[in-house]
Chain A
Amino acid sequence: MECVFGLVGDGFAVVVADTSAVHSILVHKSNEDKIMILDSHKLLGASGESGDRVQFTEYIQKNVHLYQFRNGIPLTTAAAANFTRGELATALRKNPYFVNILLAGYDKETGPSLYYIDYIATLHKIDKGAFGYGSYFCLALMDRHYHRGMSVEEAIDLVDKCIMEIRSRLVVAPPNFVIKIVDKDGAREFAWRESIKDVGAPTA
């Protein structure tokens, strides 16, 4: 039921993930952020088993930071993606991590890029991709409406179309989604799409 999808536009890449933390039939939380900001210009959207998701993505984040501290320059998106895939592959035959990842980044030399890394350490560089049951609905929709060099407005419009499709067609559709974007100005949260607002503590 976890949906993560993303696409590359003109000078930016966007990653969208649902925000529900589910345990069998119980929804423990509907505002769980599954897209990690790896460093200033990288996003890591992950879906899968809850323990693995947090532990593995934090491990990748800390190692990416370590490289930057040691060498004084940040990793490129391609290098980060290959490192992530390498870690998944090494663990695969012993103690596999059940996490599917979409890694988006912006490099000054090569521009925006998106990498598809699944739980058995497959790595593909892609323009658009999706994981989870939502992918059955999103992929065809994205294939139909995507074109190279979309603007932010066009891309978010396509993202909203995908979210609406998931909400209306998936039997146990997640109510809320988070959208994060990465471009030359960095990686940041773009918007939330909430249909159920959690009654929580008011923000200071």
Chain B
Amino acid sequence: MKLDTSGLESFTPFHGGGNDLCGGFSSVPSFELPSSTNFDDFQKKAMQMVKPAKGTTTLAFIFKEGVMVAADSRASMGGYISSQSVKKIIEINPYMLGTMAGGAADCQFWHRNLGIKCRLHELANKRRISVTGASKLLANILYSYRGMGLSVGTMIAGWDETGPGLYYVDSEGGRLKGTRFSVGSGSPYAYGVLDNGYRYDMSIEEAAELARRSIYHATFRDGASGGVASVYYVGPDGWKKLSGDDVGELHYKYYPVVPSSVEQEMTEVATS
């Protein structure tokens, strides 16, 4: 069964190398629907196919006071949770943060590399690099490794001379400037809560609570996200970690257990 929707499928680099080139061009890009024997399984498989592959939830948004960045801390290998305490918000320099989604090693290495390049820029030009410049450096590096299997879905958030800046950069070479982004398998869930609760003129506490709540709701619904919801704030003086709450505890904070009145108590049946 084929559903011809080439727009949903991003252009994948030609499979199998050069000899496959002509074959790759002639076939119409299509969206393979999963084949399975029963309907429930089909639904689950179809959902798995469209969900973003990177098992995490990260988000960042610009508001009046600066940039709020938040992420979960779960690392999963298929169905196995390998760690509940991964640092997914990477400190590039004292006024710029990067988020990690995709391959952990790829993200850590390239963010560290970006930090080096930013520092070199500072030393060479006697001024701090802008968020635009830093994200462009990273995007160009990732573009040059296009098709070689890097898996990076990151947001660069920072404060420079022009004010707060937020860019989304991924390993396909895409780079987007924006005010609200969420990346990872839990991102659709986070977007739902984030888009609805967002206002430009929020206070820092309100924004932090919105970020924390969005991460919590994503971890609730997405199996590949969980652990600790970390929230960072980037202001004119640089970044500051605001909170790191275990999402299990957040659940009971948002939905406290209400002792329900017992309607019918089980009693011993009197035997005559």
Contacts and interface: CB of A to CB of B under 8 A. Distances in A.
Interface of A: 1-2, 21-26, 28-29, 32, 48-52, 54-55, 93-94, 96, 98, 120, 132-133, 171-172, 198-202
A26 B178 CA distance: 15
B213 to A, nearest CB: 18
B110 interface: no
Given A51-B143, A51-B146, A199-B200, A28 B7 contact: no
A198 B198 CA distance: 11
Interface of B: 5-8, 10-11, 14, 18, 21, 25, 50, 52, 62, 139-140, 142-143, 146, 168, 170, 172-176, 178-179, 181, 187-188, 191, 198-200
Contacts of B142: 51
Given A24-B52, A120-B25, A172 B7 contact: yes
Contacts of A25: 8, 50, 188
A133 B7 contact: yes
Nearest to A31: B178
B8 A28 contact: no
A50 to B, nearest CB: 3
Contact of B52 (A23, A55, A171, A202): A23
A38 to B, nearest CB: 19
Nearest to A3: B7
A1 B8 contact: yes
B173 A52 contact: yes
A51 B62 contact: no
Contacts of B191: 26
Nearest to B201: A202
A54 B11 contact: no
Given A26-B187, A55-B140, 7 more contacts: A21-B174, A25-B188, A51-B172, A93-B21, A132-B7, A133-B6, A201-B200
B182 to A, nearest CB: 8
Given A199-B200, A200-B200, A201-B62, A51 B173 contact: yes
Given A26-B191, A54-B175, A200-B179, A48 B11 contact: yes
A54 B199 CA distance: 30
B52 A22 contact: no
5 contacts: A1-B8, A26-B52, A28-B168, A49-B11, A52-B11
B48 to A, nearest CB: 12
A49 B10 contact: yes
A54 B167 CA distance: 14
Contacts of A133: 6-7
Nearest to B178: A29
Nearest to B198: A199
A50 B7 contact: no
Contacts of B143: 51, 55
A199 B194 CA distance: 12
> Top 9 A-B pairs ranked by shortest CB distance?
A51-B173, A1-B7, A50-B174, A98-B11, A49-B11, A200-B179, A51-B172, A25-B50, A51-B174
A50 B174 CA distance: 5
A21 B176 CA distance: 8
A32 B178 CA distance: 9
